[in-house]
Amino acid sequence: MTRVLIVDDDRQLLRALAINLRARQYDVDTAADGASALASAGKHPPDLVILDLGLPDLNGVEVVHGLRGWSTASIIVLSARDAQADKVAALDAGADDYVTKPFGMDELLARIRAALRRTTPGTGTAVVRTAAFTIDLAARRVTTAVGDIRLTPTEWSLLEILVRNPGRLISQKQLLRDVWGPGYEAETNYLRVYMAQLRRKLEPDPSRPDHLITEPGMGYRFEP
């Protein structure tokens, strides 16, 4: 069942959305502030998040940043803010869609379906195999000859970006922004530490990696 997290401090709207989505067989979690939303997402990772920007404790954009550090769930912003700057900030932070209030329920449901279609992996790309390890992107599982390998959320986020772009050089700046968020784009030491951890877990010879390749001064590349 598809899990949806709804985040809004308007209790009446929160309840109405939850009723509508549960009636359509979605598994629904709700949160009335940003901190509760991030905690809920960590405990029960959602497939899609409906997020208000005007939360009592955090700006909704901060919640987007918090989720994008580790989650690939679709994020639909549902906000009364209709200024172009608010939309650009939310989309640049990692939101997938933006719906302004007041809104029509049928339109929101259509946008939810469209977002889920875009993020559902095809059967041909859900599992990536190399000579050393296999990655099941849908199940978020990595296995080697010795069995399942436990990755931290940060390790998984880093690996997933590389694996979804086989053979493509991903810049240091892009990886830092996508995994850790804006403001971390100069922290290249983070990448060195986490790539070393991934190689120790996945590469037969971490000192001479076959799949997680460093392009000095530029970025990293996954070779299947």
In a domain, 137, yes or no: no
What is the mean pLDDT, run by run of 10 residues, along the chain of 224 residues? 93 96 94 92 90 94 82 90 90 88 92 79 64 85 94 89 83 84 86 96 95 91 90
In a domain, 147, yes or no: no
**What stretches of the chain adopt beta strand conformation (E)?**
3-7, 27-31, 48-51, 74-79, 97-100, 127-129, 134-136, 141-144, 147-149, 170-171, 212-215, 219-222
Residue 183, C-beta contacts closer than 8 angstroms, at least 6 positions apart: none
In a domain, 144, yes or no: no
pLDDT of residue 124: 43
pTM, entire model? 0.58
pLDDT of residue 6: 97
pLDDT of residue 126: 67
Q: Are residues 78 and 168 in the same domain?
A: no
User: The domain spanning residue 88 has which CATH number?
Assistant: 3.40.50.2300
At 6 the three-state DSSP class reads strand
Task: Please give the residue range of the domain that contains residue 99.
Answer: 3-118
User: The domain spanning residue 202 has which CATH number?
Assistant: 1.10.10.10
Q: Are residues 50 and 109 in the same domain?
A: yes
| End-of-domain residue from the set 64, 95, 118 | 118
Q: How far apart are CA 39 and CA 27, in angstroms?
A: 17
pLDDT of residue 91: 86
Structurally, how many domains does the chain consist of? 2
Q: How far apart are CA 140 and CA 75, in angstroms?
A: 19
Q: Are residues 106 and 213 in the same domain?
A: no
| End-of-domain residue from the set 94, 118, 142 | 118
pLDDT of residue 43: 85
